[in-house]
Amino acid sequence: MLLILGQSIRWLLIWLYFVFIICLVGALFGTLSHLFFGFCFMEDPDYWYLSRFGFSNGIRYGGVWSGGLSIVLCVIRARKEYLKRQV
């Protein structure tokens, strides 16, 4: 019983780790892309506003994809661990 509980907590933490990383990458990419396009296409860009807006968009879109993608990454990792134990 404790083994099952321990494994469940372990996989929940791994899933949260993947969600955090995906949201972080989304926020970073959103910030950098908004700053880059503002620099390229605006005459007098407000960099503070663009970075906040990019962070908001990036974390929003990263958050949309992070749950499902994290489940897929956990399944891939579990399959690798399972195959390693079978050898």
Sign of CA dihedral 36, 38, 40, 44: negative
Residue 87 has pLDDT above 90, yes or no: no
pLDDT at 1: 83
Residue 20 has pLDDT above 90, yes or no: yes
For the chain, the average pLDDT equals: 95
Q: How many CA atoms lie within 13 A of 29 on its CB side?
A: 12
Residue 2 has pLDDT above 90, yes or no: no
Model pTM score: 0.86
